[in-house]
A and B are shown apart, each in its own frame.
Chain A
Amino acid sequence: MEKKTVVHPVIWIQGAACTGCAISLMNSPYPKLKNLLLDELVPGESIGLRFMATLMGGTGELALEVLERTKAEKNFVLVVDGAVPTGEEGRFCTVGEETFADQVVRLAQSALAVVNIGTCSSYGGIPSGSPNLTNCISVTEQLHQRGLDTPTINVPGCPPEPSWFVDTLARIIMSGIPDPEEVDDVGRLKEVYGKLIHDNCPRRGDFTTGNFARYLGEEGCLVNLGCKGPYTNSPCPDRGWHEGLNWPIKNNHPCIGCTEPGFPDLMSPFYEKFSMEEVNDMYRRLK
């Protein structure tokens, strides 16, 4: 007899975001979005994407009904895209009758785990850049402030390449919340984010031999143009983007450090090389 597929319900909500994370996921080569929606993600298990405002049929109250019904089942994974604006009692972002700051807490209370897709939900990201008028914070910080201990895992990137998210989600579906030793000190799966860009950069040879690009558009190591590869962990050099078609450094553009806490402020000016003092200061502030 054929074994029945286990379906893991997923709720995807959006706060202070640009929808780039959802659009990036739609670019997933394999599994395709169609596979993610209709097929098994790993043998015997599939995800049931119940609520995702960008794609779902229902509008308004019909959409929110799906959210509440899935929440009541209490066996869902909550995916959050976007930072949490907490200034002015959260009124910078509202969904239906509630603020996003309340919504994310209310749903996380019933969720098995929270997956933060993108740098905004993981660490605050772009909307938390100075002067941060809306007092945007990460989802994990918001849950801590409200006294919740639902496990969270971060999938940063602005946006993340789709496989970083798919791998993290598949890992949770296959074997539950990762153990602490599988996660780095800023909440990312080591299996995905374990390597420094600079250590795996195809232009590391240019760095070693002193072949530095002097202006944008020139080949060579990009550190003098402000490349943040030496301070940034991501699988960009290994996996590339769009099935390895290209990635920023291959495209002659310095890395801007979008997978790290403190992006964008600590990583900018993007096109300036940091002094050792600035680098030390950055590491101090990241800890």
Chain B
Amino acid sequence: MKRVSIDPITRIEGHLKIELDIESGRVESARSSGTLFRGLEEMLRGRDPRDAQRITQRVCGVCPAAHAIASAQALDDAFGIKSSIPPNGRLERNLMLGGNFIHSHVLHFYHLSALDYLNPHDLEELELEDVSLRDLQSYLKTSDGAPFTHEYTGDYRLGTDISSDLARDYLEALEVRKKAHQMVSIFGGKMPHNMGTVAGGATSRPDIDSITKFMARLEEIEEFVESRYLPGVVEVAKIYDDYFEIGKGVPNFLDYGGFYLESSLDSHNDTRKSFLGGVVSEGDEEVRVVDFNQITEEIEHSWYGVRARGHPTETRSTPSVNKEGGYSWVKAPRYENKPHEVGPAARMRINYLSDNGLVKPEMTKAMNTAGIGIEQLNSVMGRHLCRAVECRSLVKMMKGWVEELKPNEPSCAGYEMPDEGDGMGLACAPRGTLGHWIQIKEGKIANYQLVVPTTWNASPRDRRGVPGPIEQSLIGSDIQDPDNPLEAARIVRSFDPCMACAVH
């Protein structure tokens, strides 16, 4: 038995350590540890409820727009103004979050994951015509700088043509994700940490100038997503098709849905959403309705005191550094006491099975092109493919939302802040499904809890000893060379972990 510790896992957000016990080239046991705690939930207590929209974005610099929206919707709920958000406010929120998704998904495939499949040093001796790549090539010959420092050795099999295509797209994608952030900024003032999403809607009224500036960027992004990103993922996936069988995680999937189609949703399970929510297990055709009372967080192996255990409306997040059995700052969220995978692979499966007309045709086409069925989505390449399909679907939806904007009409509803109130805010986040729970007493935040996508995926074992989704996807995997656990790095990164989010 060999114990391998991978710390830091680079090319993700934040601080993650993975420990593997490897026996005869196979992972026997895996532990996922979040190694940074900041305590933002405890910090929110006693503050002005409206400040939550600004502070919770600072949970994460990669997906702040998702926290902004979950937080604003929790406040809408607590303030009793859910049904009075003007259409412009709803649409601008959707568009800001959409821009954040595109940035995040493009960043993940090219800048965080591509180097697991592309070895840039393979390009050093090539005769290249592309001038931008020649810059890169001369850099590779003279420097050992990030991002092109030496990687794990292992099977890099893309070949020189696809490698140089991917390297070129790596550089171009830097500009694409930047444009996506600019789109958020058009209605959000700045990114990361936008200053546009607020309780009641959004602060800026759309006008002809903002609409045209947004649209032009969306068109450019669409071209890249259709001609390079989605086909690029399919190309890599076909070459690494064994990774449609590798990295199989838990058999349960969850998403609350998001991107509202109407401002006045009756309940959190209202189906007037662009991405539908639901819960489904592997092999099932039927998607079940989410029962929000079934969400709990467990802390038996997390460094928290007992008050951190339970439903998010009842818990606190008080740290307990010396706790016996603890090995992570991530809690262990469970739905009906079971670990669930969240993220684009869960969301696309749920929407495919729910016959969502905005998703199913795209998913069917992508699965046919890649030559896989739904059972292969629970895998490393399945996650990459679903993320790209989700990005493409979103770009199309966003064009519709831009068209719906009403220039110069209000985007924010007025309100009186109540002294008491409870709110639940749910949103699609790039890495999965996101929930914020707020309780207001005497005009201040009495309690605030977040259950974040990577909290689900990177969770440690629960009280029954059941490992979390990333841990389960590692257990049973083959590792050719324990000194170069490339396969493990590929599996972990396929979840796009965001550790600042997971712990907060």
Interface pair A58/B151, CB less than 8 Å apart: yes
Instruction: Please tell me which one of the listed residues A38, A253, A270 contacts residue B139 in the complex, with CB atoms under 8 A apart.
Output: A38
A39 interfacial by beta-carbon distance below 8 Å: yes
Interface pair B146/A52, CB less than 8 Å apart: yes
User: Interface digits, B454-480 against A, CB 8 Å rule (1 contact, 0 not)?
Assistant: 000000000000000000000000000
- Residues from chain B with Cβ under 8 Å of A256 in the complex: 54, 195
Interface pair A93/B410, CB less than 8 Å apart: no
Bound together, the chains give a CA A27 to CA B120 distance in angstroms of 23
Say which one of A59-67, A144-152, A170-178, A182-190 lies at the interface with B. Answer: A59-67
- Residues from chain A with Cβ under 8 Å of B50 in the complex: 269-271
Instruction: Please tell me which one of the listed residues A53, A97, A132, A248 contacts residue B189 in the complex, with CB atoms under 8 A apart.
Output: A248
Interface pair A216/B412, CB less than 8 Å apart: yes
- Residues from chain B with Cβ under 8 Å of A246 in the complex: 185-186, 188-190
Bound together, the chains give a CA A48 to CA B59 distance in angstroms of 29
User: Could you tell me how many residues of chain A have their Cβ less than 8 Å away from some Cβ of chain B?
Assistant: 81
Say which one of B196-204, B342-350, B360-368 lies at the interface with A. Answer: B196-204
Interface pair A247/B189, CB less than 8 Å apart: yes
Interface pair B135/A59, CB less than 8 Å apart: no
B8 interfacial by beta-carbon distance below 8 Å: yes
Bound together, the chains give a CA A60 to CA B16 distance in angstroms of 10
B175 interfacial by beta-carbon distance below 8 Å: yes
Interface pair A57/B149, CB less than 8 Å apart: yes
Closest chain B residue, CB of each to CB of A9: B145
Instruction: Please tell me which one of the listed residues B58, B151, B195, B319 contacts residue A248 in the complex, with CB atoms under 8 A apart.
Output: B195
- Residues from chain A with Cβ under 8 Å of B60 in the complex: 18-20
B480 → A minimal CB distance (Å)? 15
Give B132-175 interface residues, CB cut-off 8 Å to A: 132, 135-136, 139, 143-152, 171, 174-175
Interface pair B147/A250, CB less than 8 Å apart: no
Interface pair A133/B178, CB less than 8 Å apart: no
Closest chain A residue, CB of each to CB of B64: A20
- Residues from chain A with Cβ under 8 Å of B485 in the complex: 60
B11 interfacial by beta-carbon distance below 8 Å: yes
A129 interfacial by beta-carbon distance below 8 Å: yes
Interface pair B139/A37, CB less than 8 Å apart: yes
Interface pair B54/A52, CB less than 8 Å apart: no
Closest chain B residue, CB of each to CB of A162: B178
Most chain B beta-carbon contacts within 10 A, residue among A7, A32, A59, A136: A59
User: Interface digits, A163-203 against B, CB 8 Å rule (1 contact, 0 not)?
Assistant: 00000000000000000000000000000000000000000
B406 interfacial by beta-carbon distance below 8 Å: no
- Residues from chain B with Cβ under 8 Å of A109 in the complex: none
Bound together, the chains give a CA A251 to CA B59 distance in angstroms of 22
- Residues from chain B with Cβ under 8 Å of A274 in the complex: none
A6 interfacial by beta-carbon distance below 8 Å: no
A96 interfacial by beta-carbon distance below 8 Å: yes
Closest chain B residue, CB of each to CB of A249: B189
- Residues from chain B with Cβ under 8 Å of A53 in the complex: 8, 10-11
Instruction: Please tell me which one of the listed residues B174, B187, B191 contacts residue A33 in the complex, with CB atoms under 8 A apart.
Output: B174
B289 interfacial by beta-carbon distance below 8 Å: no
Interface pair B195/A27, CB less than 8 Å apart: no
A156 interfacial by beta-carbon distance below 8 Å: no
Interface pair B149/A66, CB less than 8 Å apart: yes
Interface pair A92/B319, CB less than 8 Å apart: yes
User: Could you tell me how many residues of chain B have their Cβ less than 8 Å away from some Cβ of chain A?
Assistant: 88
Give A40-98 interface residues, CB cut-off 8 Å to B: 48-60, 62-64, 66, 85, 88, 91-97
Known: A59-B152, A159-B192. A18 touches B58 (CB 8 A): yes
Give B407-422 interface residues, CB cut-off 8 Å to A: 410-412, 414
Bound together, the chains give a CA A136 to CA B36 distance in angstroms of 12
Known: A20-B64, A95-B8, A251-B188. A57 touches B35 (CB 8 A): no
Interface pair B61/A37, CB less than 8 Å apart: no
Closest chain B residue, CB of each to CB of A219: B205
Interface pair A158/B193, CB less than 8 Å apart: yes
B103 → A minimal CB distance (Å)? 8
- Residues from chain B with Cβ under 8 Å of A271 in the complex: 48, 50-51
A160 → B minimal CB distance (Å)? 11
Instruction: Please tell me which one of the listed residues A49, A51, A100, A245 contacts residue B182 in the complex, with CB atoms under 8 A apart.
Output: A245
A275 interfacial by beta-carbon distance below 8 Å: no
User: Interface digits, A212-256 against B, CB 8 Å rule (1 contact, 0 not)?
Assistant: 000111000000000000000000000001100111111111001
User: Interface digits, B224-257 against A, CB 8 Å rule (1 contact, 0 not)?
Assistant: 0000000000000000000000000000000000
B37 interfacial by beta-carbon distance below 8 Å: yes
Instruction: Please tell me which one of the listed residues A34, A91, A130 contacts residue B321 in the complex, with CB atoms under 8 A apart.
Output: A91
Interface pair B146/A216, CB less than 8 Å apart: no
Bound together, the chains give a CA A161 to CA B195 distance in angstroms of 14
A153 interfacial by beta-carbon distance below 8 Å: no
Interface pair A253/B196, CB less than 8 Å apart: yes
| A interface residue numbers (CB < 8 A to B) | 7, 14-24, 26-27, 29, 32-34, 37-39, 48-60, 62-64, 66, 85, 88, 91-97, 100, 126-127, 129-134, 136, 158-159, 161, 215-217, 241-242, 245-253, 256, 264, 268-272
Q: List 8 A-B contacts (CB under 8 A).
A: A37-B147, A50-B149, A51-B149, A52-B147, A53-B11, A57-B146, A59-B6, A60-B7
Known contacts A66-B144, A134-B38; 12 additional CB pairs below 8 A are A23-B181, A37-B139, A50-B146, A52-B147, A55-B111, A57-B147, A63-B149, A93-B37, A217-B412, A241-B191, A249-B189, A270-B48
